[in-house]
Amino acid sequence: MSMKPSTLRIGRRYRPGRLDPAYDALVIGSGIGGLTTAALLSDLGWKVCVLEQHYTAGGYTHSYERNGYEWDVGVHYIGDVGAKTRTRKLFDYLTDDQLQWAPMDDEYDRFYVGDKVFNAVAGKSEFRDNLVAQFPAEEQAIDRYLELLAQVGGALSMFGMARVLKPWQKTVAGPYLKWKTPDFIYRNTYDVLSELTDDQDLIAVICGQWGDMGLPPRQSVFMVHAMIARHYLYGGYYPIGGSWKIADYIIPKIQAAGGEVFTYANVEEILVDDGRVKGVRMSDEHVIECPVVISSAGVDNTFGHLLPAEVVSATGYDRAIRNVRPSIGHLCLYIGLKGTAEELGLPKTNFWIYPHNDYDKAVADFRADPAAPFPVVYVSFPSAKDPEYLERHPGTATIEIVAPAPYEQFEQWKGTIWGKRGEDYESLKSDLSERLLEHLYDKLPELRGRIDYFELSTPLSTEWFSAYRHGELYGLDHTPERLQEDWLTPRTKIPGLWLTGQDILTCGVTGAMMAGLLTVTAMAGAKKIGPLMKRIYS
Ligand SMILES: Cc1cc2nc3c(=O)[nH]c(=O)nc-3n(C[C@H](O)[C@H](O)[C@H](O)COP(=O)(O)OP(=O)(O)OC[C@H]3O[C@@H](n4cnc5c(N)ncnc54)[C@H](O)[C@@H]3O)c2cc1C
């Protein structure tokens, strides 16, 4: 099997000589959280330097090419962009209206639950009627569920607002925000749903997208379940031209203000002097001085590795990070096929394949025994979703199969080099790939014999390329406890250090992008943020 290296790379290669002598802010990490923060600050006149350790910019929104195929790594579908919503307006603003979206099929998610098949269809009333058609006896429960989703919408704004308040403002506004926030949003998803219905299949369908946040219903927080359900209520969309286009369109905004997005730029340490941030030390030992550092590298990296340990313990973050835990890792089988999506009959529908309707038990069984069935297998058809894919890769198609994978199952190879981890690792990957392929052939038997190329990523690949040290899929786990940790905010106790990205709000491209907006809101203050909001949302 010949292996051509990926050529799809964006951002400018880091060299100390290419740095400007004085930046207004440094951003660690070029995921959507970091880029949103950098672009909005640039819009306010800041000169921002984004430092990305990977060979390309975009974090989980990056794409890569190999052997004539191209895959996204962390963007399979995005909701809420089919109309001029707040989400869409922010994407439009950041990308100068260049990013366009292609709708998926009306049936954007299909759930195979044991031997039963259910689905989610686009549109609030269509979604409702379709669910009622599948569960006619549960009409009341379904309507009550949709009411809860609506209530969570209001609560989410309160949640976001609470994240940007200064400590004294929190003291004043805290009781009001608490009063406006219904308690059920912090309960676990299963408990909330089981008060509406005892139909376990209905609960399974309502939670059919649990893989979008990485936790099954008895462990996840209802707020994030509801946020995701609301996000996709009007269907799924795919960025035209591929997910890498998101970063590609945002970067010029940062450059226009004199800033830059550097790749191969690994930050080794956040420098703190006399309690204040002073800049960063790169892994080549070069020091970049700057009084403002924004970390979009994740909470675990920031407090567990990038800050000096004595600073972390003096500020109490060493105790705080013990209350949160990394999410589970994942496998992704990247598949290339000769023939177009149309010729091969590939749908613009995601498949979610479950062994049965008790998702929590399936996860527990799998964690206890890796040979147990995968608790979920997710199949996505990216080339079918992107109307421009064939312009870049004529006559081909792609598929991605994702499944959970605890990091511990791969830990014995920690520290080995990507592509050179040894025969036993390759043999495990080969077994896992075959298991995943069987799920695909079970649903689309006509694809047997049509696959030209595949390669499997593991949690070690996530660690290698995305610098998540536990190979975590979604940053911090979305438990009820995590969502109530009030230190997970843009503002930190260390003057000059700010946080952004998925860990301070929720995972998802939109969650991390909104985190960027929150960070800039907290940094810029009311006077500057008002006009910026007007520009974005007018
Ligand atoms: C398999 C998978 C599928 C997904 N599917 C979807 C989907 O369909 N829809 C959706 O909305 N979301 C999806 N997500 C989630 C979404 O991609 C993420 O939640 C979001 O992109 C996270 O953005 P971020 O900016 O917070 O972090 P990231 O994109 O992870 O960016 C963090 C960046 O920091 C860099 N970094 C870390 N340490 C350092 C350092 N020391 N120095 C320099 N740089 C550093 C990393 O290299 C990385 O690029 C998916 C994620 C995965 C993994």
Backbone angles phi, psi at 482, to 5 degrees: -60, -45
Which of 235, 251, 266 is at the close of a domain? 235
Question: Is 305 a pocket residue for ligand 1 (Cβ < 6 Å)?
Answer: no
Strand ranges inside 168-264, DSSP E: 237-239, 260-263
Output the residue whose Cα is nearest ligand 1's atom 6.
75
| 256 Cα: distance to centroid of ligand 1 (angstroms) | 24
| 385 domain-assigned | yes
| 321 Cα: distance to centroid of ligand 1 (angstroms) | 20
* 252 and 268 co-located in one domain: yes
| 115 Cα: distance to centroid of ligand 1 (angstroms) | 34
* 274 and 253 co-located in one domain: yes
Domain of residue 131 covers 124-235
Question: Is 77 a pocket residue for ligand 1 (Cβ < 6 Å)?
Answer: yes
What DSSP element (H or E) covers 317? helix 317-320
* 335 and 462 co-located in one domain: yes
| 169 Cα: distance to centroid of ligand 1 (angstroms) | 31
Output the residue whose Cα is nearest ligand 1's atom 3.
74
Nearest to 217 by CA among 209, 134, 110: 209
Instruction: State the pairing for strand pair 350-354/107-113.
Output: parallel
* 340 and 450 co-located in one domain: yes
Which of 466, 494, 524 is at the close of a domain? 466
Residue with tokens 């676990």: 188
* Burial (CB count <10 Å: 0-12, 13-18, 19+), residue 131: buried
Question: Is 296 a pocket residue for ligand 1 (Cβ < 6 Å)?
Answer: yes
Task: Out of 37, 40, 52, 60, give the residue to mutate to test ligand 1, the one with the largest number of ligand atoms within 8 Å of its CB.
Answer: 60
* 182 and 246 co-located in one domain: no
| 4 domain-assigned | no
What DSSP element (H or E) covers 312? helix 309-314
CATH number at residue 483: 3.50.50.60
* 496 and 514 co-located in one domain: yes
Question: Is 488 a pocket residue for ligand 1 (Cβ < 6 Å)?
Answer: no
* 460 and 492 co-located in one domain: no
What does the chain come to in residues?
A: 538
Which of 235, 262, 282 is at the close of a domain? 235
* 83 and 209 co-located in one domain: no
Identify the DSSP state of 17.
G
Question: Is 231 a pocket residue for ligand 1 (Cβ < 6 Å)?
Answer: no
Question: Is 280 a pocket residue for ligand 1 (Cβ < 6 Å)?
Answer: no
Query: CA 42 from chain center: how many Å?
Result: 23
* Structure-derived torsion over alpha carbons of residues 370, 373, 375, 377, reported in degrees to the nearest 10: 110
Contact 82, 102 (CB under 8 A): no
437-446 b/e (C-beta count within 10 Å ≥ 16 → b) = bebbeeebee
| 42 domain-assigned | yes
pLDDT in tens, the chain (538 residues): 344 445 579 999 999 999 999 999 999 999 999 999 999 999 999 999 999 999 999 999 999 999 999 999 999 999 999 999 999 999 999 999 999 999 999 999 999 999 999 999 999 999 999 999 999 999 999 999 999 999 998 888 889 888 999 888 888 888 888 888 889 999 999 999 999 999 999 999 999 999 999 999 999 999 999 999 999 999 999 999 999 999 999 999 999 999 999 999 999 999 999 999 999 999 999 999 999 999 999 999 999 999 999 999 999 999 999 999 999 999 999 999 999 999 999 999 999 999 999 999 999 999 999 999 999 999 999 999 999 999 999 999 999 999 999 999 999 999 999 989 999 999 999 999 999 999 999 999 999 999 999 999 999 999 999 999 999 999 999 999 999 999 999 999 999 999 999 999 999 999 999 999 999 999 998 889 999 999 999 8
Identify the DSSP state of 476.
B
Question: Taking the CB of residue 457, how many other CB atoms lie within 10 A of it?
Answer: 23
| 39 domain-assigned | yes
Question: Taking the CB of residue 55, how many other CB atoms lie within 10 A of it?
Answer: 16
| 440 domain-assigned | yes
Output the residue whose Cα is nearest ligand 1's atom 41.
267
Q: Tokens at residue 173, please?
A: 């506004």
| 168 Cα: distance to centroid of ligand 1 (angstroms) | 32
CA 472/CA 209 separation, integer angstroms: 18
Amino acid at 492: T
Residue with tokens 């995921």: 31
Largest CA distance in the chain: 68
| 268 domain-assigned | yes
| 104 domain-assigned | no
pTM above 0.75, yes or no: yes
* Structure-derived torsion over alpha carbons of residues 479, 488, 331, 439, reported in degrees to the nearest 10: 40
CA 49/CA 253 separation, integer angstroms: 12
| 107 domain-assigned | no
Contact 106, 124 (CB under 8 A): no
* 132 and 207 co-located in one domain: yes
- Domains contained in the chain, number: 3
| 183 Cα: distance to centroid of ligand 1 (angstroms) | 30
Amino acid at 110: R
* 157 and 262 co-located in one domain: no
